Amino acid sequence: MVETHKVESINELNKKLPELEHRNFRDDDFWKSIPAWSQVTREEFGDHLWQQKNSIRKIDQVKKVLGDLATPELMADMEDGQRKTPMNIRITPYIFSLIDWKNAWDDPLRKQFLPLGSQFLPEHPQHMSDSLSEDEDSPVSMLTHRYPDKVLFLPTTLCPVYCSYCTRSRIIGGSTESVDKSSYGANQKKWDEVFDYLRKSPLVEDVVISGGDSFMLTAAQLKYIGESLLKIPHIRRIRYATKGIAIFPMKITSDNAWFEALKDVHKYGLSLGKQVVVHTHFSCPKEITHWSQLAMEKLFRAGIIVRNQAVLQHGVNNDVSDMVLLTRQVGYLNIQPYYVYMHDMVPGCEHFRTTLREGIELEKAVRGTTAGFHTPTFVCDLPGGGGKRHVASYEYYDEENGISVWKAPYVKPGEVFTYVDPIHRLSPEAQKRWQDPETAKKMIADAIAKAKD
């Protein structure tokens, strides 16, 4: 008689072994815990039109859908947040219902999309609304041309969600109580001016199509932009940037016209021997569910490469185990972990920023936990337009006062750049020194002089 062994399914095995935690993807009806959506079926929830229609745009809607889960204290704090934040509210039901509303103060998703007044800290005196000097390096509207062979194209300033930590808060998502913005939607005439500029710029090989978010382009617009760029002979690579896979995977799984347009551009690129890839933006493991898995399976089977860029945020992903889990999870989904950025020095974000030292230590902890090509590079995008540099490649770091000095020999030869740590993370003595503008100026000058030595 042949003995039969019970073979555990891979899913059962994954649940038992903590080191395989990254293979477990949430697949329950989590949205049903939100009172207004308790009767919403899986089919409805998976429909991109339902997600768009039910996206939260106002505090009143938060109250309405949460019912008794919305405590008066939380709502008052959120209203206060709206008076202070540079970003409007927009959040998909998918992300909204992944928030743990019983512990909303600490929830990493709530922190990213629904700011509370109580969390804001005074701005660092060195903060800048255009921290990366994108406007300064813009030869034509909607385009930043800093690196010789690469450009950043911003065809729209609209997104399916608005992130509190957005580096382009100066233009994204419309004016708020605290900031006037010149946000814009799709405008083909303006795009044609960008394509004209690129035709006359033979060194450019690489175009990042960002914004804003490519999910906000219609299928026809996505195709028009992609094909127009690929037709330019010297352009070899285009990358559509979208946070969408992380916060709105239903667009990939159910908006067939949009997905087919992306596939068509990808195929057209292949026919010309050119790359068409997607860059996305998962920040923390809580954003990743079975819906992300379904979206990524579809993209992967279509042969579309996806890379991830995360922003390091205090209370969201600055914990070693969260960062390792995020790296492994996105890797498992066939997304290449590409960058983790130090938070830019933009307004309304002091509570999110970490010290450079923290970025360096996280990079050390993450490296070696998985294959090297699936390990993100931790970078600091230099304020003032020096471009991205590895976190440990500073010239000098005054940790006591939180000032690091950098060079970007190829991008801006001869120039130096400074990145500063958040003041509340420094010693009381250092915090006091920053309060005096003359002392602060001298500290920065001293750090630069030491870097030059």
Q: Which residues bind ligand SF4 (CB under 6 A)?
A: 159, 162-163, 166, 168, 172, 211-213, 243
Among 163, 140, 7, smallest CA distance to 91 is for 163
Quote the least distance from Cβ 440 to ligand SF4, whole Å: 29
Contacts of 198 (CB under 8 A, 6+ apart): 143, 151, 204, 207, 229, 232, 235
Nearer to ligand SF4, 89 or 333 (CB): 89
Helices (H) and strands (E) in the chain, counts: 17, 12
Report the residue count for the chain: 453
Nearer to ligand SF4, 86 or 269 (CB): 86
Nearer to ligand SF4, 70 or 166 (CB): 166
Nearer to ligand SF4, 243 or 286 (CB): 243
Q: What is the DSSP string of 84-104?
A: H-SS---B-HHHHTTS-GGGG
Among 409, 419, 430, 317, smallest CA distance to 363 is for 317
Quote the least distance from Cβ 340 to ligand SF4, whole Å: 14
Nearer to ligand SF4, 243 or 412 (CB): 243
Nearer to ligand SF4, 143 or 408 (CB): 143
Going by the DSSP 8-state scheme, the letter that residue 235 receives in this structure is: -
Asked if 344 contacts 167 with a C-beta cutoff of 8 angstroms, the reply is yes
Say how far apart CA 86 and CA 109 lie, in whole Å.
18
Asked if 369 contacts 329 with a C-beta cutoff of 8 angstroms, the reply is no
Ranges assigned E (strand) in 408-449: 416-420
Nearer to ligand SF4, 313 or 418 (CB): 313
> Could you give the residue ranges of the DSSP H alpha helices within 41-100?
42-45, 48-53, 59-66, 72-84, 93-96
Quote the least distance from Cβ 213 to ligand SF4, whole Å: 5
Say how far apart CA 397 and CA 56 lie, in whole Å.
42
Quote the least distance from Cβ 192 to ligand SF4, whole Å: 23
Quote the least distance from Cβ 301 to ligand SF4, whole Å: 25
Helix pair 72-84, 59-66: axis angle to 10 deg? 160
Quote the least distance from Cβ 189 to ligand SF4, whole Å: 22
Quote the least distance from Cβ 158 to ligand SF4, whole Å: 8
Nearer to ligand SF4, 37 or 282 (CB): 282
Quote the least distance from Cβ 283 to ligand SF4, whole Å: 9
Say how far apart CA 351 and CA 305 lie, in whole Å.
33
Bridge partners, 91 (sequence order): 56
Asked if 158 contacts 183 with a C-beta cutoff of 8 angstroms, the reply is yes
Quote the least distance from Cβ 164 to ligand SF4, whole Å: 9
Nearer to ligand SF4, 232 or 250 (CB): 250
The sign one gets for the Cα dihedral 349, 352, 358, 361 is negative
Among 99, 109, 46, smallest CA distance to 294 is for 46
Nearer to ligand SF4, 164 or 355 (CB): 164
Say how far apart CA 377 and CA 275 lie, in whole Å.
21
Quote the least distance from Cβ 112 to ligand SF4, whole Å: 9
